């Protein structure tokens, strides 16, 4: 056996005891769903992991009502300090059960355990720690004194970082004083359901967080529900667009974190070995199931061949296989459907005349797998250079000058992220200035931190998650002359929160010094 093959080093599944069946988590308890239950499988083996309830419209009603009750009676009346304490509790519990969560995540999602263990779950805990501290400091969030919570937040999250996206959504929402109904992705519900158990251990008041599982129609019912004040969605641009249309004319505040086709720009003076790592991390991290993945490599033409050669050498050392093996670099594609999509677009790339090269990986017999692949001779007009593949597929393009690199990088309807690799400081800053992307990584890639805002320009969505800016997605400024605590309403006296008549806009907007009414939550720091 070659040394590089290593012996199997599987993380033990013993730490995780999955239930046979999971219900919906509503009002602090697991309850049966009225939709048709579905199975969640391991994409690495296609083994069935658990049966999961599906929420129908009536279940969505119940969940939203529970969130509303919890908002009116408990959460909106609780001090920020106590809300913060609950979030701190949750953060600690996530740390305590970190390994279990990591195993569940890798099983259900297919991502390598080293990523769920070293990236996803630690960030989940960090996210709750970060926003826990904000809960009693909202006056300093940049929205003026006494910013108001929005009410009930409907949150729909994707399958690529199931638990991390949950944390990105729930932590700021609760810190800001909102209650939540969250729907995890159909293919990856498990970590969210274990998280529900954590909420029980934290003794979070019932109804403050409700987790309902189901497919797209469950999500659609949730975001269009009349009883929600806020919609937060992470997922495809197509669905985000549909949501934006759905909420048009309502008073729902919306944040959308959508697709991307990030340019990773490598100049000829780049720190080459780190750039290679950055390219690998940029597109092959999490099997490329990353909205901010550096899927378009823009490499200066005079170093193209060298970069591609080094990249191929490096890719040959990547280990694909059992997501629970600690030495696995590339796990399974999350679903058959996604695998088909990756294959289809890759075939398009070949048909368009690009050259495909795939790392020499052994493909396991069962499960969904796609070897790390790079396309060279890709033109800006190629579909694989324009459409989000959401898989381990890199398109390599070239440029000659900084201006051309910027022009090509910006030539996309997306604008989520970008990378710059060069040793020249002034160039980094100037290029970063001109890139139309919400996150720019210079001489690094795919770094995340709860203190750092994340979100896109253009069709990559609106609003930011993370940092002080992330709070703005869940708060409204209190206008001058308005009660600082408008939401301290008596239980059961829920005020309708939406109106199609703009003239009858809520009292918030009648004041002469009110804030504008964004249909879309913009960056924070307003006011």
Partner 1 sequence: MSGTSLVTARERALAVLGGEPDDATLRRYLHGIAGVDAVGLEQRAAGLGTRSIKTTSKRRALDTIISLIDLTTLEGADTPGKVRSLVAKAVNPDPADATTPRVAAVCVYGDMVPFAVDALGAAHGDPDAGLISVAAVATAFPSGRASLDVKLADTAEAVAAGADEIDMVIDRGAFLAGRYGLVFDQIAAVKEACRRPDGSSASLKVILETGELATYDNVRRASWLAILAGGDFIKTSTGKVQPAATLPVTLLMLEVVRDWHLATGQRIGVKPAGGIRASKDAIKYLVTVAETVGEEWLQPHLFRFGASSLLNDVLLQRQKMSTGHYSGADYVTID
Partner 2 sequence: MSRLAVPKTYKLYIGGAFPRSESGRTYEVVSSSGAFLANAAKASRKDARDAIVAARAAVPAWAGATAYNRGQVLYRIAELLEGRRGQFIAEIEEAEGVSRAAASAQVDESVDRWVWYAGWSDKFAQVAGNANPVAGPYFNISVPEPTGVVAIVAPQDSSLLGLVSAVAPALVAGNAVVVVASERFPLSAISLAEVLATSDVPKGVVNVLTGAPAEIAPWLASHADVNALDLVGAADLDWISLEIEAADTLKRVLRPESGPDAAAPALGRISAFTETKTVWHTKSLR
Q: Which does 523 bind (CB under 5 to 8 A by kind): partner 2, partner 1, none?
A: partner 2
Measured in Å, how far apart are the chain's first and last C-alpha atoms? 64
Judged by CB under 8 A, which of 202, 461, 473, 497 binds partner 2? 461
Contacts to partner 1 from residues 193-232, by CB under 8 A:
none
Which among partner 1, partner 2, none contacts residue 297 (Cβ within 5 to 8 A by kind)?
none
- Half-sphere exposure of residue 180: CA atoms within 13 angstroms, side-chain side: 31
249 binds partner 2 (CB under 8 A): yes
Task: For Cα atoms 387, 393, 395, give the angle at the middle one, nearest 5 degrees.
Answer: 65
Phi and psi, residue 210, nearest 5° = -120, 135
Answer yes or no whether residue 122 interacts with partner 1 by CB under 8 A.
Answer: no
Report the partner that residue 18 touches, choosing among partner 1, partner 2, none (CB closer than 5 to 8 A by kind): none
CB nearer to partner 1: give 5 or 501.
5
Contact 66, 123 (CB under 8 A): no
Please give the Cα distance from 271 to 250 (Å, whole number): 50
Helices 98-109 & 162-175 angle (0-180, nearest 10): 130
Q: Does 437 bind partner 2 (CB under 8 A)?
A: yes
Q: How far apart are CA 482 and CA 502, in angstroms?
A: 19
CA 231, distance to chain mean position in Å, is: 14
Confirm or reject binding of residue 481 to partner 2 (CB under 8 A).
Answer: no
* Nearer Cβ to partner 1 (67/279): 279
Span interacting with partner 2, options 76-84, 224-232, 239-247, 361-369, rule CB under 8 A: 239-247
Kindly state whether residue 365 participates in binding partner 2, applying the rule CB under 8 A.
no
Q: Residue 94 binds what, of partner 1, partner 2, none (CB under 5 to 8 Å, by partner type)?
A: none
Residue 278 near which of partner 1, partner 2, none (CB within 5-8 Å, type-dependent): partner 1
**Catalytic residue (one of 105, 257, 459, 465):** 257
Is residue 1 near partner 1 by the rule CB under 8 A?
yes
455 counts as binding partner 2 under rule CB under 8 A: yes
Sole residue written with tokens 């720190």: 271
Q: Give the integer Cα–Cα distance in Å for 393 and 269.
A: 25
Q: Which of 115, 291, 361, 459 is catalytic?
A: 291
Tell me if 305 contacts partner 1 by CB under 8 A: no
Strands (E), 327-407: 355-358, 373-376, 393-399
Alpha-carbon distance 90 to 88, whole Å?
5
CA 417 → CA 165, 266, 499, distances in Å?
17, 15, 36
Positions 484 through 503 that interact with partner 2 (CB under 8 A): 500, 502-503
| 74: DSSP letter | I
**Any contact of residue 477 with partner 1 (CB under 8 A)?**
no
- CA–CA gap between residue 8 and residue 423 (Å, rounded): 39
Are the C-beta atoms of 295 and 288 separated by less than 8 Å? Answer: yes
What does the H/E/C string look like for 418-454?
Answer: EEEECCCHHHHHHHHHHCCCCEEEECCCCCCCCCCCE
> Which listed option, partner 2, partner 1, none, makes contact with residue 217 (CB within 5 to 8 Å by class)?
none
Task: Single out the residue of 21, 201, 317, 483 in contact with partner 1 (rule: CB under 8 A).
Answer: 317
Binding of partner 1 by 443 (CB under 8 A): yes
Which residues have CB under 8 Å from 316's CB, separation 6+?
Answer: 359, 360
344 is catalytic: no
Does position 444 interact with partner 2 (CB under 8 A)? The reply is: yes
Which one of partner 1, partner 2, none is in contact with 327 (Cβ closer than 5 to 8 A by kind)? partner 1
Q: Which residues contact 219 (CB under 8 A, 6 or more apart)?
A: 156, 183
Q: Does 426 bind partner 1 (CB under 8 A)?
A: no
Q: Is 245 exposed, middle or buried (0-12, 13-18, 19+ CB in 10 A)?
A: exposed
Segment interacting with partner 1 (CB under 8 A) among 4-12, 137-145, 203-211, 454-462: 4-12
- Rounded to whole angstroms, what are the CA distances from 114 to 5, 10, 102, 119, 437? 17, 11, 9, 8, 29
Q: Cβ closer to partner 2: 343 or 436?
A: 436
Q: Can you tell me which of 56, 146, 246, 327 binds partner 1, judged by CB under 8 A?
A: 327
Segment interacting with partner 1 (CB under 8 A) among 61-69, 263-271, 287-295, 357-365: 263-271
Question: Is position 100 annotated as part of the catalytic site?
Answer: no
User: Dihedrals φ, ψ of 484, to 5°?
Assistant: -70, -20
Closest Cα to residue 52, out of 161, 213, 191? 213
- Site residue total, partner 2 (CB under 8 A): 63
| Stretch in the footprint of partner 1 (CB under 8 A) among 3-11, 252-260, 284-292, 515-523 | 3-11
Among 8, 413, 481, 491, binds partner 2 (CB under 8 A): 413
Q: Rule CB under 8 A: which residues touch partner 2? A: 126, 142, 237, 240-241, 244-245, 248-249, 256, 258, 413, 415, 428, 432, 435-444, 447, 449, 451-455, 457-459, 461-462, 464, 467-469, 477, 500, 502-503, 505, 509-510, 512-520, 522-527
Q: Rule CB under 8 A: which residues touch partner 1? A: 1-9, 114, 118, 269-275, 277-278, 317, 326-327, 423, 443-444
Catalytic residues: 257, 291
């Amino acid at each position: 056996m070659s040394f590089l093959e290593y012996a199997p080093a599987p993380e033990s599944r013993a730490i995780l005891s999955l239930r046979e069946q999971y219900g919906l988590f509503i009002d602090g308890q697991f309850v049966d769903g009225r939709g048709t239950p579905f199975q969640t499988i391991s994409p690495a083996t296609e083994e069935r992991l658990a049966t999961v309830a599906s929420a129908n419209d009536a279940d969505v009603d119940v969940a939203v009502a529970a969130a509303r009750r919890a908002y009116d009676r408990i959460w909106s009346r609780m001090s920020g300090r106590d809300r913060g304490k609950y979030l701190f509790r949750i953060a600690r519990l996530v740390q305590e059960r970190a390994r279990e969560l990591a195993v569940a995540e890798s099983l259900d999602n297919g991502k390598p355990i080293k990523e769920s263990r070293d990236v996803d779950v630690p960030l989940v805990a960090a996210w709750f720690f970060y926003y826990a501290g904000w809960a009693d400091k909202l006056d300093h969030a940049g929205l003026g004194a006494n910013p108001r919570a929005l009410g009930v937040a409907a949150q729909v999250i994707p399958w690529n970082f199931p638990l991390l996206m949950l944390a990105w959504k729930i932590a700021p929402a609760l810190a800001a004083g909102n209650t939540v109904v969250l729907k995890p992705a159909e293919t990856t519900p498990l970590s969210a359901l274990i998280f529900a158990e954590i909420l029980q251990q934290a003794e979070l008041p019932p109804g403050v967080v409700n987790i309902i599982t189901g497919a797209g129609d469950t999500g659609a019912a949730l975001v269009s529900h009349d009883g929600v004040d806020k919609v937060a969605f992470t997922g495809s641009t197509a669905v985000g667009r549909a949501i934006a249309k759905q909420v048009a004319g309502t008073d729902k505040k919306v944040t959308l974190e959508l697709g991307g086709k990030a340019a990773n720009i490598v100049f000829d003076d780049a720190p080459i070995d780190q750039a290679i790592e950055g390219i690998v991390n940029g597109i092959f991290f999490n099997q490329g199931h990353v909205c901010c993945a550096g899927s378009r490599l823009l490499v200066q033409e005079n170093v193209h061949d060298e970069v591609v050669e080094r990249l191929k050498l490096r890719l040959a050392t990547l280990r694909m296989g059992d997501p629970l093996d600690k030495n696995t670099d590339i796990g399974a594609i999350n679903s058959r459907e996604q695998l088909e999509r990756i294959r289809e677009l890759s075939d398009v790339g070949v048909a368009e005349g690009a050259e495909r090269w795939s790392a020499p990986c052994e493909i396991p017999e069962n499960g969904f797998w796609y070897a790390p692949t790079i396309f060279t001779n890709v033109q800006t007009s190629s579909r694989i250079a324009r459409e989000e593949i959401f898989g381990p597929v890199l398109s390599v393009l070239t440029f000659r000058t900084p201006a051309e690199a910027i022009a090509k990088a910006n030539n996309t309807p997306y604008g989520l992220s970008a990378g710059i690799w060069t040793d020249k400081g002034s160039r980094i800053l100037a290029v970063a200035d001109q890139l139309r992307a919400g996150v720019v990584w210079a001489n690094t890639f795919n770094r995340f931190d709860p203190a750092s805002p994340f979100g896109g320009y253009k069709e990559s969505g609106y609003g930011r998650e993370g940092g002080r800016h992330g709070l703005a997605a869940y708060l409204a400024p209190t206008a001058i002359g308005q009660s600082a605590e408008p939401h301290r309403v008596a239980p059961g006296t829920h005020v309708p929160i939406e109106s199609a008549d703009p003239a009858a806009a809520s009292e918030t907007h009648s004041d002469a010094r009110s804030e504008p009414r964004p249909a879309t939550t913009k960056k924070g720091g307003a006011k």
